[in-house]
Amino acid sequence: MVRRPTDEWRARLAEEAAQVAAGTLEPEQAVLARFFPESMVSATERVLASFDEQVRALSAPSDDEVLAVVERVVLDLNAVNADHGGVAYETDEREELCAYIEKSVGEAGVDVPALVARRRLEDLTYEWREW
């Protein structure tokens, strides 16, 4: 099972907090909480949990069914991004989210490169992604 990007973000936040607590990082140098506010991480987790349920429900899906699930998760992530001033997901986070979506769909038995090629897509998320 693919590890959610939010798990990685929480691990980074915990590491930074541990460094501050240990005195190896000055509090003013601890910046991750600004990039990963709890409200954004929690909202993203909820979106990805819903996506995971939808992906698990796929059974020999058509391209249209797969793309409908991807569209929903991307639109929901767009809403999280908008709720956080349009800056919730920077380059690294975008790459992590896109990779998570593609790997999750792939683990469900979908040949993602073939789907992308058949539909002449830049990637699975590009059509709807605003982040």
Residue 22 lies in a domain: no
Write down the number of H helices and E strands in the chain. Answer: 6, 0
Residue 124 lies in a domain: no
Residue 58 lies in a domain: yes
Q: Does the pLDDT value for residue 111 go beyond 90?
A: yes
Enter the pTM of the model: 0.93
- List the domain range (segments joined by +) for residue 92: 37-118
Give the total number of structural domains in the chain.
Answer: 1
DSSP 8-state symbol, 27: G
Give 45-74 as a DSSP string.
HHHHHHHHHHHHT-SS--HHHHHHHHHHHH
Convert the pLDDT of each residue in 39-65 to its tens digit: 999 999 999 999 999 999 999 999 999
Q: Which amino acid is at 56?
A: R
Residue 19 lies in a domain: no
> For position 119, what pLDDT does the model report?
96
Q: Does the pLDDT value for residue 1 go beyond 90?
A: no
Q: Does the pLDDT value for residue 92 go beyond 90?
A: yes
Answer for the pair 50, 27: CB distance below 8 angstroms, yes or no: no
Residue 53 lies in a domain: yes
Residue 56 lies in a domain: yes
Residue 68 lies in a domain: yes
Residue 14 lies in a domain: no
